Structure 1
Amino acid sequence: MNARSAWLSPDGQTRGDTRVTQVGAVTPVTDAKGRSGVLPGSEGGQYRLTGLWLAGTAGTMSATMSVGRAVIQSTIARGAYPVAVTEPVTLTFTDGNPQYGRIDLVVLRVYDHDHDGLGRYEAVVEIVEGEAKALPVAPDAPDASLPLFTVAVAAGLSAGTGGIAWDTARTDLRPTTVAVGGILPTRSDDTAAGGYPGAYREVADVLQRWNGSAWVPYPKAVGGIAPAGAVSTGAYTGQYRDSSTGTLQRWNGSVWAPAVTTPWFTSSLDAGSTTSTTYTAALVETTVTALTLNFTAPGTGAVLLHFGARISTKDNSTATAFMAPQITQGSTVVFTPNDEYAASYGGPVAGSVATMWRLYGLTPGTVYTMTAMHRSSDAAVTCWFDNIFMRVDPTA
């Protein structure tokens, strides 16, 4: 039988017909299989998942499985088994091995003699006991079963020795499943792939979308700005987010970078002087041996250089003091200071001067260094520089 339809055959609908024709019933995994899982929900909608919870009894080896609904997907030929646990189920774990601990697996299991030959037609909650060993691991889940919890049973453990410490021994494995198109609420350790591009799930209050190869954050529509803390990795180059410090950032394909590049700035309030008639970074009578500023060339390769100082020529009204920047990239000098571009001033009474000009042709993304350089027009005249500043702005 290549195609099967529910509620069509005049001879009656088989159990297999019902299972394999649950079109749209659960989250797709392939074009013909759904995702096994517990149906989410809780009384009053307060919790993500309360169905089939395992509540241990303190001081004992027993626990109770609560009511709930689930779907267990088998092979394409067998189809999906819908299961409902309508009354609490009590489970009792075997006492611990005298020498080694073990890990037991609690599953919701379907027995179907037509396929497994075990002589039963029923769904049960059962314990699959693990092997006691020095480094215990959980056993494999049986065919047509849904893993719900693991429970660690320590060596020598029994009701007489205090029973199972449920808060630390129990590990929740319950997967979830929802109808086709529904948003799947799941845990952060769920590594299952999406069934199709455009599928959605929620993990730790963050909406994610399956893009065909990975789950990517999707807190806002394309073009929206993701709120702080909602996105750790960008979903696409050009996505924006608000950082935890309130700074707008842009995903460049590999890292979050500032969306708006702020100016680079440095200054010195420690006055210094020079009598050198050639440009020098070193001033005397100051602790600042050289004032420098590192900056990264923007994508345009162009920046605006701002610089200036409070300048005087000691006891002289005819000499001129010059301040100009030198630009280097590593050990290579990109721009040499000269008088034409300098901020200049002459006179024994100090005056504040500044200038600005555009430097272009830089390599985008490369770090450059701007160094304040100074000189005097007369070797006999001491030129003083105070309140020195430099600023670099990215520009078109």
Structure 2
Amino acid sequence: MNARSAWLSTDGQTREDTRVAALGALTPTSPIGTRSGILPGSYSGEHRVSGLWLAGAQGTMTATVSSGRAVVQATESRGAYPVAVTDGVPLTFEDGDALYDRVDLVVLRIHDDAYDGTDRTEAAVEIVKGKPEATPTAPAAPGLSLPLFKVVVPKGRSTGTGGIDWGTALTDLRTTTVAVGGILPTRADDTAIGAYPGQYRDTDSALQRWNGTAWVPYPRDVGGIVPAGALANGGYAGQYRDSAAGQLQRWNGSAWLPAVPGPAFANTLDAGSTASTTYTATLAAASATPLTVTFTAPPSGSVIVGLGARLLTRDSETASAYMSPQVTQGSTVIWAADDERCATSSGDVGKTVSTQLRLNGLTAGTTYTVTALYRSTSSQVTCWFDARYLRVDPIA
């Protein structure tokens, strides 16, 4: 019989009929399969999942698994086993090994003699004992079981020697399942794929939607500004969010960037000198060289580059001191220092000068670096530069 209908057969409903044609359709994993897991919910609504929780008795090797409901999926033809644990299940862990720690596994297991020949037909909460090792790992879960918790059993521990450290021993492995169409409460480390495009899940810190190939952060395609802390990665290029620092940011497809980039600025009061007649980024007697500032090109691809300093030509009224910007993207020079793009002054009395220049043709979203370069028009004249600054303003 391939098409099975529960509560309809005139010649008796089989156990498989009941499991395969479940009245309460849960989170699907295929057209007929169901995601194994625990049904979420708690008495007060405070906790996402309280069913089948493991609570240990301090100072002992005993614990209790609380009541709860779950579904354990077998093969599609065999169906899904619904389980209700109506009373707490006491568990006693074996004493710790003399030399090594071990990791035990607590599972909800289905025994079905019709399939496994175990002479048992029941659901049970069981301990699967791990192997004591220098670096212990949890044992594999038995067939047709739902892992609930990993429990670290320290070496040499027993009820008389302090028992299990219940505050740190547990690793929660419980997966969840909900009615089809419901939002699935899960964890960020849950690697299970979605069942259908349009399915939603809550990772306890973000709402996500399955788009057919990946879990995508939500909100998506709504055009609203995402609240601070609600979205680690953008769902689409052009999405906006409020950062924790109160800055409006835009997702460019791989990173969050300021939506409205402010000016990039760098300055120093550290004076230095050069007599080089070719442009150099290094000044003698100045520790703050080279002077640089980085910026991200705005959507327009255009910026205003400004620079200035207090300049003087030592003991000369005829030589000139030049300060010019060099713009690079990585190791590529976009703008070389040039006398046509400089702030300049001459004379033995310091004068503050500045200039502003427009730079076009930049690639939006790309990071560039501006470096201040300096030179003298005479190798016999030392030029001094003080109170130096660089500023880059994006053009909308």
Q: TM-score range by the shorter chain?
A: 0.7 to 0.9
Equivalent position SS for 2:191: coil
Distance 1:97 1:274 in 2: 74
- 2:38 aligns with 38
- Secondary structure in structure 2 of the residue aligned to 1:16: helix
In the TM superposition, what is the alpha-carbon distance from 1:337 to its structure 2 partner?
A: 4.1
Asked if 2 retains the 8 angstrom alpha-carbon contact of 1:326 and 1:333, the reply is: no
Q: Which residue of 2 aligns with 1:177?
A: 177
Q: Secondary structure in 2 aligned to 1:13?
A: coil
How far does residue 73 in structure 1 lie from its aligned partner after superposition? 0.8
Asked if 2 retains the 8 angstrom alpha-carbon contact of 1:264 and 1:293, the reply is no
The change in CA–CA distance for 1:373 and 1:65 in structure 2 (over 3 A counts) is: closer
Q: Which residue of 2 aligns with 1:227?
A: 227
CA distance in 1, matches of 2:274, 2:153: 81
Contact 2:274 2:284 in 1 (8 A): no
Between stretches 348-357 and 123-132, larger displacement belongs to 348-357
Residue 214 of structure 1 and its aligned partner are, at CA, apart by 3.2
Within a 5 Å distance, the mapping from 1:204-219 to structure 2 comes to: 204-219=204-219
Partner of 1:165: 165
| Residue aligning to 1:139 | 139
Residues 305 and 390 of structure 2 are in contact (CA less than 8 Å); yes or no, is this contact kept in structure 1?
A: yes
Per the alignment, residue 186 of structure 1 pairs with 186
Residue matched to 1:325: 324
2:100 and 2:154 in contact (8 A); partners too: yes
Report the alpha carbon displacement of residue 80 of structure 1 after superposing the two structures with TM: 0.7
Aligned to 2:28: 28
Q: Is the 8 A contact 1:65 1:89 kept in 2?
A: yes
Shift in alpha-carbon separation, 1:366–1:138, aligned structure 2, 3 A = closer
Contact 2:305/2:356 (8 A) holds in 1:
yes
| CA displacement, residues 43-101 of structure 1 (integer Å, 9 cap, x when unaligned) | 12011111111222233322222111111111101111111111222222233344544
Which shifted more, 100-109 or 345-354? Answer: 345-354
Q: Deviations over 1:181-225 (max 9, x none)?
A: 111112333222222232222223321223333333325654333
Distance of 2:135 and 2:313 partners within structure 1: 82
Is the Cα–Cα contact under 8 Å of residues 219 and 230 in structure 1 kept in the other structure? no
Q: Please report the TM-score for the alignment, with normalisation by the length of structure 1.
A: 0.79
Q: Which amino acid aligns with 1:395?
A: I
Deviations 1:280-322 (A, max 9, x none): 78999996998854444725443223456789999xxx99989
Cα distance in 1 between the residues matched to 2:138 and 2:351: 80
- Work out the CA distance in 2 between the residues paired with 1:83 and 1:167: 28
The answer as to whether partners of 2:274 and 2:374 remain within 8 angstroms in 1 is no
Which residue of the partner structure matches residue 239 of structure 1?
Answer: 239
Any conservation in 1 of the 2:38–2:176 contact (CA below 8 Å)? yes
2:254 aligned residue: 254
The range that moved more, 148-157 or 181-190, is: 148-157
Deviates more, 1:382-391 or 1:144-153: 382-391
Distance in 2 of aligned mates of 1:250 and 1:157: 54
Structure of larger gyration radius: 1
Task: State the AA in 2 paired with 1:369.
Answer: V
CA deviations over 1:97-122 (Å, ceiling 9, x no partner): 44544332222222222222222322
How many Å separate the matches in 1 of 2:200 and 2:85? 27
Closer/same/farther in 2, CA of residues 343 and 334 from structure 1, 3 Å limit: closer
Q: 1:186 to 1:271 in 2, by over 3 A?
A: closer
Match in the other structure for 2:372 = 371
Which stretch of the first structure deviates more once superposed, 13-22 or 87-96? 87-96
Cα displacement string for residues 142-164 of structure 1 (whole angstroms, at most 9, x for unaligned residues): 22221112223334433233333
- SS of the aligned residue for 2:44 comes to helix
Give the direction of change, closer, same or farther, for the CA distance of 1:115–1:224 in structure 2 (3 Å limit): same
Mapped partners of 1:33, 1:280: distance in 2: 72
Q: Aligned residue pairs: how many?
A: 392
Aligned twin of 2:58: 58
Instruction: Look up the SS of the partner of 1:213 in the other structure.
Output: coil
Give 1:42 shift: 0.6
Contact 2:67 2:86 survives alignment (8 Å): yes
Change (3 A) 1:78 1:307: same
Cα distance, 1:72–1:306 mapped onto 2, change above 3 Å:
same
Q: Check conservation: 1:99, 1:156, Cα contact below 8 A.
A: yes
- Per-residue CA deviations over 1:151-181 (Å, capped at 9, x if unaligned) read 2333443323333332233332221111111
What does 1:1-396 align with in structure 2 at a 5 Å threshold? 1-22=1-22, 25-219=25-219, 222-267=222-267, 292-296=291-295, 298=297, 300-307=300-307, 325-329=324-328, 334=335, 337-338=338-339, 356-362=356-362, 365=366, 367-369=368-370, 371=372, 390-395=390-395
> What is the CA RMSD across the aligned residues, in angstroms?
4.2
Q: Percent identity?
A: 54
1:295–1:190 distance in 2 versus 1, CA, 3 Å:
closer
Give the distance between the partners of 2:348 and 2:102, measured in 1 at CA: 89
How far apart are 1:23 and its partner, in Å?
A: 6.5
Unpaired segments ≥5 residues, structure 2: none
Question: 3-state DSSP class of the match of 2:152?
Answer: strand
Q: Secondary structure at the match of 2:177?
A: coil
Residues 164 and 335 of structure 1, relative CA distance in 2, 3 Å threshold? closer
Distance 1:292 1:102 in 2: 58
Structure-1 separation of matches of 2:129 and 2:268: 73
Deviation at 1:366, TM superposition (A): 5.8
Instruction: Write the distance in 1 (CA, Å) between the matches of 2:138 and 2:313.
Output: 84
- Structure 2 counterpart of 1:379: none
CA contact (8 A) 1:96 1:153 kept: yes
